[in-house]
Structure 1
Amino acid sequence: MSVSRRQALARTGALAVGIAFTGAVSELFAGTAAAQHMGHTGYGPLVPDPDGLLDLPEGFRYKVLSREGDPLRSGEGRVPSHHDGMAALPGRGGRVHLVRNHENRATARLGVPTVDGLTYDPAGKGGCTALTLDARGNVLSERVAVAGTAVNCSGGPTPWGTWLTCEETEDRAGTNGYAKDHGFIFEVDPADPRRTGAVPLTAMGRFQHEAVAVDPRNGIVYETEDAFVQPFGLFYRFLPNKPLGGTGALRAGGRLQAMRVPGVPDLSAVQEPGACFDGVEWVDVPDPLAEQTSVRLQDYGRKGVTRAQKLEGCYWGGRSVYFVSSYARSEEGSAADHFGQIWRYTPDRRHLTLVVVFGPDTDVRLPGESPDNICLAPSGGLMVCEDGNGAQHVFGVTRKGEVYEMARNRQNIGTEEEPEWGEFAGVAFSPDGRTMYVNCYTPGTTFAVTGPWRG
């Protein structure tokens, strides 16, 4: 991120911890049984960690499952850098499969080790690693799940128990030493990585992917594009030829479309929470492989498509898909400024609603900005990974819009005079809701957090 209001406030000592919200936050959790039990705000103040890793509320504890540079238990090499998006998928006998992205560029210190049968492009340093935990949370195995990809940022789980990992780049073969084109989605089976291999799902588009969410009713995949400079990114849906076909079925191809909201060329222009737009349209992407022109630059006709700066998190809840615009800055070309939005698209009604707006406009003492990875918590609320400047937190949000600190990163990667902390990413809960998993991006660290969770 560039210099922001958060940094300016931090320098004056006026920075308070927290996120300000406006909007119908309860709409995020409508219809969930757990939401009806939310009556408390948070779990109390954070307790400083004597080991200097992770501050948590009293009664909670963490376990470090994996750290950058440590040997992989498989013997394939060392744990790669830049821990990012992650999912916790159920296994047999109470086991949990954690599949974890590594957002490594060509310059990364520790790339994902190349493994025969699991490597797409040997020059790529990104990919995924997979951890298998037993019913008590102990690490049983840790291995490479896919390698030779690039800038694996986020992704999303599938209803059939695999992970879709997304490359956040459009680099072509010959760029940064790559031997193949990048910018694809890959399917990863953390329980048996060789079952999925390293096959790009080319029909799902080649662009700066961020996250995906799958409609469990019909298999339609929704995709966000993280473009922070003009032209800004699009929100997509992929109509698979073999919907809900299970592992490997997405290789059969399908149709990629971009969202058009009539009368709204830029989502940042919408500032009022609760604003709803009917008649959302979907326009076929002319060239999903972007052979000549980037997908977002292609010709979508006179009416065009709808854009947004920094589209990131994406998840399915109830009968809707939710997606995040991390921020918008008019100085960089957006129609208006905001410090984060959460949008809800309901396919059955073709409705798009602005649910939540983050930011200091609601309270200048609470300069919340740049929500990134988000997930639903067992309590019915949200967990939000902060990706800004200064101190980095995982925030909880109740369905009433009340915000509380859940975790604070204590690993200083700066200096004592000018401290700096890596962002959080990949927040996810175990299938039984008793453990929260979260990554520290730098230094790459994967935590398991247990305690008196409600829900």
Structure 2
Amino acid sequence: MERRNFLRGAVLTGSVAAFGGSLWRGAAHAAPAQPGAGPYGALRPADANGIRLPQGFTSRVIARSGQKVPGTSYTWHNAPDGGACYADGGGGWIYVSNSEINPGGGAGAVRFDSSGNITGAHRVLSNTRQNCAGGKTPWNTWLSCEEVDRGYVYETDPWGVKPAVRRDAMGRFKHEAAAADPVRKVIYLTEDVSDGCLYRFRPTTWGDLSSGTLEVMTGGSGTSGSIGWARVPDPSAASTATRHQVSAAKHFSGGEGCHYADGTCWFTTKGDGRVWRLDAANNTIALAYDDSLVSGTAPLTGVDNVTGSASGDLFVAEDGGNMEICVITPDDVVAPFLRIDGQSSSEITGPAFSPDGSRLYFSSQRGTSGSGSGGITYEVRGPFRS
């Protein structure tokens, strides 16, 4: 057994004793996902774009960093990162993508008609810093998050019509991703540092992020059980980092992607290769995946951005690993969905489904060059489960 496997096993065992057996039995969840046959079958040889896909799926390049988006006069940004899709009201949709460069940052968007043809591209945010991931709101704005010390969240208009607004009340820290929970009327926020926290922002008025309360998850060092929430005294972090203001705060090793669906907030931590499941109604957490607790070779490593499909499948992008997007099914099977060949110095970012669920958008942040100026944004189309 590898040393890290032994240590993580000790943490899992120790957490039960630390919190009390009856509490943990009451918060039982399914075991972490294990490798198995994926719902889409084996990956086929790489296509002309260097992407290995299951039978029935095809890919196309929709944008390249530093080049005009096809059919438009708009130059695509460097280092494309987190993204989301929005229905445009006329049968088409918009894909928004962050730019993880500093300085400059910001976000851009590509517009499609109902047939998937590119009809335009535009800027939605400028002059920010290292915009990594973010999240979509129920009122169809894009939250673009700065991954720098005391970074901000910016609320942007995917259509590029309304000016972006900085949302100071959502806290200043090394932001990564955001996910909206319309039932509890909160926004979950991840923090990309080695001892980061998971936060939730509770707006004073749902749909208006100009004011509200920033809270941090509290709990012990275990990997499952009950958690709580405590108000962060100073979201501006003027003198003390937000993650160090509440002594009972629960810490995570490098928070990355975040996705909410059907009462669950899923989030990833890159430092320990984990996907977490937060039961928002019952305030419990559990491991949905841990790359050191699988049987055999871990198919998913370097966990990063995450999104979900209508079927309940999670799609987790790798930062490194085998340059794959892996699927975790509702019955706890994990398997590769796609792989990008020849881009080992890059990472996969920004997975997001078109409104009808038939197309998956994502980027290779550094492409074949290994530099942010070589970013490539893709579309994969095929028979996704509904």
Report the TM-score range of the alignment, normalised by the length of the smaller protein.
0.7 to 0.9
How many angstroms does 1:168 deviate by? 0.7
DSSP 3-state at the match of 1:399: coil
State the match for 2:180 in structure 1: 214
Q: Residue 234 of structure 1: which of 170, 194, 197 is its match?
A: 197
8 Å CA contact 1:409, 1:422 repeated in 2: no
Determine whether 1:276 maps to 2:225: yes
TM-score after normalising by structure 1: 0.72
How many angstroms does 1:140 deviate by? 0.8
Partner letter of residue 225 of structure 2? C
State the match for 2:167 in structure 1: 201
Determine whether 1:363 maps to 2:321: no
State the match for 1:184 in structure 2: 152
Q: Residue 323 of structure 2: which of 384, 388, 392 is its match?
A: 392
8 Å CA contact 2:363, 2:377 repeated in 1: yes
How many angstroms does 1:45 deviate by? 2.3
Q: Which runs of 5+ in 1 are unaligned?
A: 6-22, 28-38, 106-123, 171-181, 329-338, 413-419
Distance across 2 between alignment mates of 1:198 and 1:453: 33
Determine whether 1:439 maps to 2:366: no
Q: Residue 46 of structure 2: which of 6, 24, 49 is its match?
A: 49
Distance across 2 between alignment mates of 1:324 and 1:381: 15
1:183-215 CA distances to partner (integer Å, 9 max, x unpaired)? 000011112x231x2321001001001111111
Q: Residue 156 of structure 1: which of 125, 135, 138 is its match?
A: 135
Partner letter of residue 207 of structure 1? F
Alignment of 1:13-162 (within 5 A): 24=30, 41-72=38-69, 75=73, 78-105=75-102, 124-162=103-141
Distance across 2 between alignment mates of 1:313 and 1:50: 28
Distance across 2 between alignment mates of 1:282 and 1:185: 21
Q: Residue 275 of structure 2: which of 341, 354, 357 is its match?
A: 341
8 Å CA contact 2:299, 2:335 repeated in 1: no
How many angstroms does 1:66 deviate by? 0.7
How many angstroms does 1:343 deviate by? 2.6
Determine whether 1:287 maps to 2:237: no
TM-score after normalising by structure 2: 0.84
State the match for 1:36 in structure 2: none
Q: Which runs of 5+ in 2 are unaligned?
A: 5-28, 368-374
Aligned CA distance change for structure 1 residues 341 and 321 (closer, same or farther; 3 Å)? closer
Distance across 1 between alignment mates of 2:352 and 2:31: 20
How many angstroms does 1:225 deviate by? 0.7
Partner letter of residue 404 of structure 1? A
How many angstroms does 1:67 deviate by? 0.8
Distance across 2 between alignment mates of 1:40 and 1:239: 40
State the match for 2:7 in structure 1: none
8 Å CA contact 1:157, 1:164 repeated in 2: yes
Aligned CA distance change for structure 1 residues 396 and 281 (closer, same or farther; 3 Å)? closer
8 Å CA contact 1:42, 1:405 repeated in 2: no
Q: Residue 426 of structure 1: which of 350, 364, 385 is its match?
A: 350
Aligned CA distance change for structure 1 residues 361 and 40 (closer, same or farther; 3 Å)? closer
How many angstroms does 1:453 deviate by? 2.1
How many angstroms does 1:434 deviate by? 0.9
State the match for 1:309 in structure 2: 253
Q: CA RMSD in A?
A: 2.4
Determine whether 1:250 maps to 2:209: yes
8 Å CA contact 2:83, 2:133 repeated in 1: yes
8 Å CA contact 1:184, 1:209 repeated in 2: yes
How many angstroms does 1:378 deviate by? 3.0
Aligned CA distance change for structure 1 residues 220 and 70 (closer, same or farther; 3 Å)? same
DSSP 3-state at the match of 2:209: helix
Distance across 2 between alignment mates of 1:187 and 1:100: 13
8 Å CA contact 1:26, 1:399 repeated in 2: no
Determine whether 1:224 maps to 2:148: no
Determine whether 1:318 maps to 2:286: no
Distance across 2 between alignment mates of 1:345 and 1:402: 19
Partner letter of residue 24 of structure 1? A
8 Å CA contact 1:153, 1:166 repeated in 2: yes
Counting matched residue pairs gives: 350
Structure (1 or 2) with the greater strand fraction: 2
Distance across 2 between alignment mates of 1:40 and 1:361: 18
Determine whether 1:408 maps to 2:355: no
